[in-house]
Amino acid sequence: MSAVKSIAILTSGGDAPGMNASVRAAAMIALSKGITVHGISRGYRGLLEEEFVELSPDRVATIFREGGTTLHSTRCLEFHKPEVRDRARSILRKRGVDGLIVIGGNGSLAGALALSDPQEAGDMAPAVIGVPASIDNDIGLTSMSIGVDTALNTIVEACDKISDTASAHDRSFIVEVMGRDCGYLAMTAGIAAGADLVLFPESNRPAAQIVEAAVKAVMGKRRAGRSSGSTLIIKAEGVNLATDELKRRLDARLQEELGPAPLEIETRVTVLGHVVRGGRPSAFDRLLGSRLANVAVRALLAGQTRKMASWMPPVELPEEVGHRTDDDPYCWLVDLPAVLVETEHLLRGDSPLARWRASTLDGLEEVFGL
Active-site residue numbers?
A: 136
Write the DSSP assignment of 111-158 as a string of letters: HHHHHT-HHHHGGGPPEEEEEEB-TT---TT-S--BTHHHHHHHHHHH
Length reported for the chain: 370
Dmax over CA atoms of the chain, in Å, equals 80
Of the pair 22, 325, the CB lying nearest ligand F6P is at 22
Of the pair 17, 314, the CB lying nearest ligand F6P is at 17
Of the pair 139, 166, the CB lying nearest ligand F6P is at 139
- Minimum CB separation of residue 314 from ligand F6P in Å reads 19
Among 126, 179, 183, 289, binds ligand F6P (CB under 6 A): 179
For ligand F6P, which stretch binds (CB under 6 A), given 62-70, 154-162, 176-184, 262-270? 176-184
Spatial CB neighbours of 176, under 8 Å, sequence gap ≥ 6? 235, 236, 237, 243, 269, 270, 271, 272, 273
The arrangement of strands across the sheet holding 172-177 comes to 197-199, 231-236, 172-177, 267-271
Nearest to 135 by CA among 116, 153, 149: 149
Span 110-169, contacts to ligand F6P by CB under 6 A? 134-136
Write the binding mask 288 to 327 for ligand F6P: x where contact by CB under 6 A, - elsewhere.
----------------------------------------
Burial 323-353 (b: 16+ CB within 10 A, else e): eebebeeebbbbbbebbbebbeebbebebeb
Please name every residue paired with 324 in a beta bridge, in sequence order, or none if there are none: 332
Phi/psi for 235 (5° steps) reads -125, 125
Beta strand 99-104 with 52-54 is unpaired
The span from the CA of 179 to the CA of 22, in Å, is 21
Q: Is 354 in the site for ligand F6P (CB under 6 A)?
A: no
- Minimum CB separation of residue 292 from ligand F6P in Å reads 18
Among 180, 286, 306, 307, binds ligand F6P (CB under 6 A): 180
- Minimum CB separation of residue 100 from ligand F6P in Å reads 21
Write the binding mask 237 to 276 for ligand F6P: x where contact by CB under 6 A, - elsewhere.
x---------------------------------------
For ligand F6P, which stretch binds (CB under 6 A), given 82-90, 172-180, 206-214, 348-356? 172-180
Of the pair 69, 172, the CB lying nearest ligand F6P is at 69
Among 105, 132, 140, 190, binds ligand F6P (CB under 6 A): 105
Of the pair 75, 345, the CB lying nearest ligand F6P is at 75
Spatial CB neighbours of 85, under 8 Å, sequence gap ≥ 6? 79, 114, 115, 120, 121
- Minimum CB separation of residue 186 from ligand F6P in Å reads 11
Q: Are 136 and 201 in contact (CB under 8 A)?
A: no
Interaction site with ligand F6P (CB under 6 A): 14, 105, 134-136, 178-180, 237, 277
